[in-house]
Amino acid sequence: MDGKIAFEEHFAIEDTLEQARSFAGDSGIWDEFTQQLLDLGGQRLGHMDATGIEMALLSLNAPGVQRILDAREALRVAQKANEAMAEAVAKHPKRYAALAALPMHNPDVAARELERCVQQLGFKGALVNGFQQVGNEDNAKYYDLPEYRSFWATVSKLDVPFYLHPRMQIASQARNYDGHPWLMSAPWGFALETSIHSLRLCGSGLFDDFPNLRICIGHLGENIPFGLWRIDARMRFSRREYRGKRPLGDYFRDHFHITTSGNFNDPAFRCTLDVLDHDKIYFSADYPFEKMEDAATWYDATQVIDEAQRRKIGRDNAIKLFNLDLK
């Protein structure tokens, strides 16, 4: 299928590049991986052309700004990354759009940077790489906390999507991975960390306060669609400090938007389609952590959807979500 739109598509600046080294593994591909992350020109566009991806919404690699402890330094790096994305969009306005990197140490600073990116640079929303570390390695801030309500008020006012992207848990708080570090990142820990953060948002009363919020997550829902019926069923016996006015599943189905990024698998896709409104499901690749070729080859051939659904999920839904100027 030509004309696909993808929006978990990463790049790096020199300040955040080294954070991606572990994802290159021991396979000797660091130089190639570096080139892919830094490139916003011919190589990336060539992959897009070859796989039928018309537009990619760029975002900063993980953990990015969320790994930077100092608030001033985090703002500097976020603004540098946002300027780099704005420059790429200006050069290739029909091929790229952008999702803002935000320093989440202070909700008001994050809100101002989001306003700048949306109102002045024309960004389509934000992508934040999980919880924010603040001040020291072991201090993690999650965005369901009451102190972030002013930030969410700005997201609501701007009416743009917020992509909650995975990151690894802090080592000191990850004893359940002891002896098995391979579990901490993409194979399992990414989904676990992002799903817990997402469920915290659902249970915090956030969506009662701001009913127009739209939260995006990748990898066909970070395992939540598979578990959603049981979550709601067992909530009958576990509602202590649950602050939502409705069942948790209602918030997830109403406010979460799910991409295929990095999960090119028919059974998982079928489950997500069964659980969520098809208006809230989208194609994405997760480049360069996944190959565009793998994402597109699977998506273009899967028989889980018909051709009308393929166009809707691959293109039309993203145009509506991000208010893209595409036909």
Kindly state the percentage of the chain with pLDDT values over 70. Answer: 98
What is the reported pTM? 0.96
> Is residue 238 domain-resident?
yes
- Domain count of the fold of the chain: 1
Please indicate, yes or no, if residue 282 is contained in any of the structural domains: yes
Return mean pLDDT, the chain: 96
Upper half-sphere CA count for residue 19 (Cβ side, 13 Å) = 22
Q: For residues 57 and 172, what is the distance between their CA atoms, to the nearest angstrom?
A: 34
- 286 carries an active-site annotation: yes
Per-residue pLDDT reduced to its tens digit, 76-113? 999 999 999 999 999 999 999 999 999 999 999 999 99
Identity (one letter) of the amino acid at 321? L
pLDDT for the residue 313: 98
Tell me, what CATH number does 306's domain have?
3.20.20.140
> Does 327 map to a domain?
no
Choosing from 49, 274, 286, 316, the catalytic residue is 286
54: helix, strand or coil? strand
In-domain check, residue 86: yes
Taking residue 224's Cβ as centre, other Cβ atoms within 10 Å add up to 25
Q: Which domain holds residue 303?
A: 4-322
Q: Tell me if 309 is assigned to some domain.
A: yes
Give the pLDDT confidence score for residue 24 in this predicted structure.
67
